[in-house]
Amino acid sequence: MIRVELGAEGAAGTRFVVSPLKILSELLLTLGRHPYALPRVWRDRSAAALAARDLPSVHALVAHAATGYVPDFISPVPVHFAEAVEEQLHRVATAPTERIGYEAAIILQGHPWCAEGVDGTPGRFAAMAEAIQRGERALADRAAQELEVFWKRVFANDWPRIQDRIQADIALRGAQSARDGLGAMVTGLAPQLRWRDGGIDLTAPFASPARAEADGLLLTPSLFRGPVGFAVDPPDAVRRQLPLITYPIADVTQARPAGRPRRLGATRAQLLQALAMPASTTEMARRLKLSQSTVSYHLQALYDSGLVQRTRQTRTVLYQRVEQ
């Protein structure tokens, strides 16, 4: 188990981010470790993107991902809520050489928090060792160039839709945090996470027991189903970064529109207007001074028409307007 101590200041610095390159990094990690856990569309796109064999560094990252680790510098910690992929690629290319060197040592020698036997050695991952030998700056430049090509081949066309889905998830989590508290929201992100005594317990496969302190925490949804991903620096890391936890995106079910109602009606129009942010049936009944049964009836009709989406958070179903 990895324990991240946050305290009051760290809890106050906990926030969500949208990181295009973290999504890409999670794809590479899953591709290297559990490729058949990926939906076929992403597996096929990745295979097609790598088929040309013109992305040797990306191939090396996928091969090394079998250890459970990809270097953090390829998915820089966002400095604001939603960074553009171009901003992040620039920061990959200009990453501090000492940080790249620190992560290169992890690639070759294994992560200090990984259990024995889960490491990467030059013999097993010769392509990565060869890339590192060209030097930190050359490694960063090459990685940025290849990641840009891979991004365009795999993600670029669908990124607006993916971003909308990520931001919908974050809105749902924010609503849950406001309703139930930060601790309950974090604990509900995934079975491997637990908020306890001002910090987070993270159950991670292959990880030795470890502890770190941080003055903030970043959370971001992962497009790909699987265990929680994390980037948490040991206390002696070079240029320590804020911990970043990647959790499975909410399973937001959206009905396929079957055509808009001929006449929306005053109550349904009022509900739609109020559902810019996620809310439960109980909340909407209280806000609009209607019975829960009336609200439930109209929400079901709006859902069947594809005008609202819904997701389950623990025992509560939240509804949100679908932006047309």
Q: Give the domain ranges of the chain.
A: 2-248, 266-321
Residue 263: pLDDT band by 50, 70, 90 thresholds?
low
pLDDT at 324 over 80: no
Average the pLDDT over 296-300 and give the result: 89
- What pLDDT score does 120 carry? 44
Pairing of strands 244-248, 217-222: parallel
Residue 209 corresponds to which amino acid?
P
Residue 91: pLDDT band by 50, 70, 90 thresholds?
very high
- What pLDDT score does 195 carry? 92
Q: What is the dihedral of CA 30, 250, 234, 74, to 10 degrees?
A: 50
- What pLDDT score does 317 carry? 86
Per residue in 116-153, pLDDT (tens digit) is 444 444 445 666 777 778 888 999 999 999 999 999 99
pLDDT at 252 over 60: no
Per residue in 224-234, pLDDT (tens digit) is 867 788 889 88
The CA distance from 132 to 64, in Å, is 13
pLDDT at 284 over 70: yes
- What pLDDT score does 93 carry? 96
The DSSP-derived string for 304-315 is HTTSEEEEEETT
Is 94 in a helix, a strand, or coil?
coil
The larger pLDDT score, comparing residue 145 to residue 290, is at: 145
Tell me which architecture the domain covering 266-321 has in CATH. Answer: Orthogonal Bundle (1.10)
Average the pLDDT over 242-250 and give the result: 89
Sheet holding 14-16, edge to edge: 14-16, 217-222, 244-248, 229-231
The larger pLDDT score, comparing residue 132 to residue 259, is at: 132
Residue 75: pLDDT band by 50, 70, 90 thresholds?
very high
- What pLDDT score does 114 carry? 67
Per residue in 189-225, pLDDT (tens digit) is 888 899 999 899 988 766 678 888 999 999 999 888 6
The CA distance from 251 to 170, in Å, is 12
